[in-house]
Chains A and B, each alone.
Chain A
Amino acid sequence: MTSQSASAVLTEDMRKKLLQPDLISGSEMLLRSLLLEGVDTVFGYPGGAVLYIYDAMHGNKDFHHLLTRHEQGAIHAADGYARATGKVGVCIATSGPGATNLVTGIATAYMDSVPLVVITGNVPTSLIGTDAFQEADITGITMPITKHSYLVRDVSDLPRTIREAFHIASTGRKGPVLIDIPKDVSAAKAVFHYPEHVVIRGYNPTVSPNKLQIDRLLQAIEKAERPVILAGGGVVYSDAQQELIAFAEKTRVPVITTLLGLGGFPSGHELWVGMPGMHGNYASNNAIMECDLLISIGARFDDRVTMKLDGFAPKATIAHIDIDPAEIGKNVPTDIPCVGDIKAVLGVALANAKPARSAEWLKQIKAWNELHPFQYKDSETELKPQYVIEMISETTNGDAIITADVGQHQMWVAQFYKFKNARSLITSGGLGTMGHGFPAAMGAQVGCPDKLVVAITGDGGFQMCSQELAVCAIHNIPLKIAIINNQVLGMVRQWQKIIYKERYSHIDLGGSPDFVKLAEAYGVKGLRATNKAEARQAWQEALNTPGPVLIDFVVRKEENVYPMVTAGSSLSEMILGDAE
């Protein structure tokens, strides 16, 4: 890969040099500020309103700019970079269509609390509001999907704005922050002053927990006979996996991980129950329905987890640990609230934690898991998608970074890949954005050049951003793309089968390109597999190939994801499926 991390080279001397109070342009201020924030990689796409910024980048070797083939690719890549590394992802786009092409990616990051700083150009301040060429009110458009946003009208405000944006994006409940820079502001000059400290009067996230709240939680655990932890993406974002393991082991409370929580607690662990919700496992959903204490940790009671709210955890006292106080009581009334950073909360809680009386309960959960594990009927003639996921899981031993796009394959990844490590699953959970998986994998690979990154995607989702193959080819980004190709919009087909009485409407993806040839056209190695033997061979070849490889796994079209709880049903109403 030609893109290597550059942040390590920011020495104290360089820092001092960057901090010099020179008279420089807004564009140069932006680049200096990014370097001071430790940014080594930006994903972007130039255009009229950001030309001063791109001009300032000319010849700049201090950080890397990856030119994607669509702004959507740039923002999803920045998102994947941020999720994989824990750092703030940065992308740049021009005004108008460049900026609006970011909207889906900003909303994706917002729903999943991903720290991004999104820089857009805008028309010169004198033209703002005149419906000028390529003008869009991007701060207005993105207000509901950003943690905060800025329209910079004065160049001297720019360094402080960038400093604040990085602070807001990466602290508290993380999220995307947008900075809109009019063209004249990026051209204007002022004396560079980068503030050392950030003081924002209206922004003070509660990080340290309240001791009384933790005491109440610990008392409830001590009394509980059927407790369960529901661990979400917050555990991953807070880097609290070790604390969660220690806490679960000390309290003997079993752990259910949501889609974004996968990897936040190792799936092989004796206290791991599974994933809950619409396509969750039998044991997890039963455990939620039967538990007497449910401890949500960094999970926000999404409707794909709770299903019908009325019937959710009907016998349980609800405890909720979250950095965002607004999540507490938003969907599910909470008995024991606990606001704070999860790593900090669990750290404090660990000291005095005592075990629950959960021995019988753990046996019950184990029995449920043995009764109905995730399963499928394997086939020697047709390739089953679940087999492909299991194969990737076994060969990578949970050490790869997996991105899943959205749809059936995403749920099979969640069900059949054994996640051991935090930040090893990257997928659009909240917004369910098709097209996110592949460019996110690209970003993850750029951020983690030494890791094996596998983009597991569908033939539908892949085609929403397949143009980014060019970026993989030109930078030799060595990710492996596994297309689970069933030639239909599989999850839509499944809903049309089960809920819409097999009236299959506009789901046939016939007319898709030959993905092997498509890859080759971009200069990426392409392979195809239509049965188990070919699948194993192709996958091995992909692993042995140093650069990017695409594998078209042609799988059984009619396969469905089970268990399934249909929308509007309660978690106890699982369709277990017929293991087709």
Chain B
Amino acid sequence: MLTKHTISILVNNQPGVLQRVAGLFGRRGFNIESITVGASEEPGLSRMVVVTVGDERTLEQISKQLYKLVDVIKVVDLSANPMVARELALIQVNAEPGQRPEILGVVETFRASIVDIGPNTLIVQAVGDSDKIDAIVELLKPYGIRELTRTGATAMIRGISK
């Protein structure tokens, strides 16, 4: 059964490591829905979070193939546990002064924020899981979205399950 998985990969912070990981997914035909990289709690190590779609066997292969990379230290399937996953989106939306109260209503409902105001645009910053971002994007569409950028998910297992 194809399901969505969020995988956390702890890697050496070496030049080319993103290429190694992304290249592995590409050439073995594994899917990448999103990939994020940033510093980890340990100096010299980075953490990648990859959201992928596949069956259990594919997931097992992804993990085993990742472990073959010398720069990969640890691979965890976060979605096998209760986890927190968050994505950041910046949405620049058309906002003539008359429309702004309406847009602010949407923004407040989603606990998003306005991070820039232009003569006839607003930039909305939204943080949440992918579904929440999808929802706010859907609601802002009628106003006219000029530009949209999303980070992809970063994630962590909840403390209670550790």
A residues in contact (CB < 8 Å) with B: 139-140, 143-144, 147-148, 151, 168, 200-203, 324-326, 328-330, 333
Contacts and interface: CB of A to CB of B under 8 A. Distances in A.
B65 A326 contact: yes
Contacts of A143: 16, 19-20, 23
A329 B20 contact: no
Given A143-B16, A143-B20, A151-B16, A329 B72 contact: no
B19 A202 contact: no
Interface residues of B, number: 21
A325 B60 CA distance: 10
A330 B64 CA distance: 9
Contacts of B24: 144
Nearest to B60: A329
A140 B70 contact: no
Contacts of A147: 68, 70
A201 to B, nearest CB: 6
B162 interface: no
B70 A203 contact: yes
Given A143-B23, A151-B15, A330 B70 contact: no
Q: Indicate the member of A151, A168, A330 with the most B CB atoms within 10 Å.
A: A330
Interface string B68-104: 1111110000000000000000000000000000000
Contacts, number: 43
A325 B67 CA distance: 9
Contacts of B12: 201-202
Nearest to B44: A201
B70 A202 contact: yes
Given A139-B16, A325-B64, A144 B71 contact: no
Given A143-B20, A151-B16, A202-B73, A326 B27 contact: no
25 contacts: A139-B16, A140-B16, A140-B19, A143-B16, A143-B20, A143-B23, A144-B27, A147-B70, A148-B69, A148-B70, A200-B70, A201-B12, A201-B73, A202-B11, A202-B70, A202-B71, A203-B70, A324-B68, A325-B67, A326-B61, A326-B64, A326-B67, A329-B61, A330-B61, A333-B57
A326 B68 contact: yes
Nearest to A202: B73
Contacts of A325: 64, 67
Given A151-B16, A202-B72, A144 B67 contact: no
B1 to A, nearest CB: 16
A364 to B, nearest CB: 33
Nearest to B74: A202
Nearest to B69: A202
Contacts of B71: 202
A325 B23 CA distance: 20
Contacts of B57: 329, 333
Nearest to A168: B70
Contacts of A144: 23-24, 27
Nearest to B65: A326
Nearest to B72: A202
**3 interchain residue pairs of minimum CB distance:** A326-B64, A148-B70, A202-B73
A202 B69 CA distance: 8
A355 to B, nearest CB: 33
Contacts of B61: 326, 329-330
B21 to A, nearest CB: 10
Nearest to B12: A202
Contacts of A140: 16, 19
A132 to B, nearest CB: 18
Nearest to A324: B68
Contacts of B73: 201-202
A10 B27 CA distance: 43
Q: Indicate the member of B65, B69, B70 with the most A CB atoms within 10 Å.
A: B70
B94 to A, nearest CB: 40
Given A147-B68, A168-B70, A203-B70, 17 more contacts: A140-B19, A143-B20, A143-B23, A144-B24, A144-B27, A148-B69, A148-B70, A151-B16, A201-B73, A202-B11, A202-B69, A202-B72, A325-B67, A326-B61, A326-B65, A326-B67, A330-B64
Contacts of B15: 151
A443 B53 CA distance: 45
Contacts of A328: 64
Contacts of A151: 15-16
Interface string B28-55: 0000000000000000000000000000
